[in-house]
Amino acid sequence: MEYFSGTKKLLDFIIADWKLLLILTLIFVIYFYYTRTFDYFEKKGIKYMKPIIFLGSLGPIITAKKSFHCYQYEIYNYFKGNPYGGLFEGSQPVLYILDPELIKAITIRDFDHFVDRNIMNSNKPRYLKQSLLNLKGPEWKGVRSTLTPTFSSSRLRNMLPLIQHCSQQMIEFLKQYDNKDVEMKDTMGHFTLEVIGACAFGIRCDALTDENAHFVKVAEKFNYMPRLKRLCIFFFLVFMPKMLRFFNISFFYPKSIEELLRILKVAKSERKLSGTKKNDFLQLVIDAAEKEKSDPERPNKYLDDDTIDAQSLLFLIAGYETSSTLLSFALHVLATKPELQTKLREHIEEMTDGKEMSYELLSQLDYLEGFLLETLRRYPPVGRVERVCTKNYTLPGTSVQVQTGEIVALPIYGIHMDPDYYPDPEEIRPERFMGEEKKNRPSHLFLAFGVGPRNCIGLRFAMFSAKMAMVALMKNFKFSVCDKTEDPIHFDKRSMLLKTGKGLWVRLEKI
């Protein structure tokens, strides 16, 4: 009787308080589900940053207490002395690689195990899915190999008149700001838009003649993201990452991308109707697609219309953001370091005096190249690079296994600011990327353009156009600090890409 009496009391409790029990059960299930992976690194004997439920190790980023770049630096120093370390993005384990030999193995030697990038797998339009950033496996390899010749030195030589014309337009544009304070990120953005409009779309976008030009207003908003959309993406990535594939979500502003796509299609249509050919990226991709179609030895055809559109949009988006970041930070550096500016200007004037600008001449400006690379080291537009394991892999010299589908990350900003590789990392020294000092440092410890087969396909173009711009700027203007100049720079805490909270202001004076 006592047994049945106890059972009856338990049933009465459940009936009376079923709501409480249901809530407690749900809390337990949710807690278990979102912490189920938190012993991942502990089981492997890997040092890791302790996570909290839902946020994982990303609390400082999500709450905007630290900028993305500064957090990568903090992560790097937390694990320094170890070849690798682990953290959690939500419940997703991410293995950070710090050891130079392991970095080389993953990005170069054993690249076939880490071919893919980590992307947001949403149901976005195909003209976004087909970009080189998103493509995977054999399809990425096919498109990459087809596009690589479009960035050869001979093709860049043909683009020189376009970039030179844009550089001259930039000089005329900047003359209106003589003896005035100028925010350089926005200003250099106009130059990069003009260059990419000419070299990618084959159009004149008037970015340097009309600040309110339609193309400028559309292109500048490509990465605009309302707060609600940010929260939505965060919710999906943390709570329901597998559900993303059912939703049309991307990091880009849809109206801007759709209008850019319309402009691109108009340019393609006009070119086909007129039969004219130009020395720009769009023409090179169209020609590559035609060559691919007519090649009987290539059964797989990769460059359909959506793929061509995707690469052109990628050229615009990636080129605009990274090149304008490089040039604006470079000019800020020169404004705050007048002795460096003087040396760079003297180098440029000595090397180019009385000579016609050419691809070969730009290649000889070693101090200018060193300065630009050093600026990218100190201020890389992207704070880290990621790879997805595509075949089970054991880290060389260890027993640590990386399974297919797992993510590894390289903390770019941490590596670039490591005094063991770059002594006095806060200082800007172009000599780091010149002569013996450059030769004696492993190339895979400079990651501004990535490294290995999946590095930035447009790095030559980016450096080429940046050099052209810097030559024109140094010959025509002097840059100095003003009341709005921020030194040291404080990075924007709400951006994944490198941005400043208050802008990059300098005083401009015509020489």
The tens digit of pLDDT for each residue in 268-302 reads 888 777 777 777 788 888 888 888 888 777 777 78
pLDDT tens digits for range 111-132? 999 999 998 788 888 888 899 9
So what's the pLDDT on residue 188? 93
For residue 498 the two structure tokens come to 């490198």
Could you tell me which of 99, 300, 282 has the C-alpha nearest to residue 202?
282
Residue 330 has pLDDT above 50, yes or no: yes
Note whether 309 and 264 are within 8 A (CB): yes
Q: What is the mean pLDDT of residues 363-381?
A: 97
Q: What is the mean pLDDT of residues 380-403?
A: 96
Q: Which residues make beta-bridge pairs with 505? A: 183
Could you tell me which of 430, 413, 499 has the C-alpha nearest to residue 73?
413
Specify the higher pLDDT residue, 5 or 178: 178
Collapsing DSSP to helix, strand or coil, 455 comes out as coil
Domain 37-510: CATH class, spelled out: mainly alpha
CA distance 459 to 462: 5
pLDDT-wise least confident of 96-100, 179-183, 237-241: 237-241
Give the phi and the psi of residue 412 in degrees, each rounded to 5: -55, -50
Residue 509 has pLDDT above 80, yes or no: yes
pTM of the predicted model over 0.85: yes
pLDDT-wise least confident of 34-38, 144-148, 227-231, 367-371: 227-231
Binding annotation for heme: 456
| Confidence at 197, pLDDT banded by 50, 70, 90 | confident
Collapsing DSSP to helix, strand or coil, 505 comes out as strand
Q: What is the mean pLDDT of residues 223-243?
A: 75
So what's the pLDDT on residue 5? 61
| Confidence at 101, pLDDT banded by 50, 70, 90 | very high
So what's the pLDDT on residue 1? 47
- Averaged pLDDT of the chain: 89
CA distance 462 to 322: 8
Note whether 256 and 219 are within 8 A (CB): yes
CA distance 54 to 113: 30
DSSP string for residues in 410-453: E-HHHHHT-TTTSSSTTS--GGGGSHHHHHTS-GGG--BTB-ST
Specify the higher pLDDT residue, 16 or 451: 451
Binding annotation: 456
How far does CA 499 lie from the centroid of its chain? 12
pLDDT tens digits for range 409-430? 999 999 999 999 999 999 999 9
pLDDT tens digits for range 8-49? 665 666 666 667 777 888 888 888 888 999 999 999 999 999
**How many Å is the maximal CA-CA distance in the chain?**
110
CA distance 97 to 105: 11
So what's the pLDDT on residue 244? 77
Residue 176 has pLDDT above 70, yes or no: yes
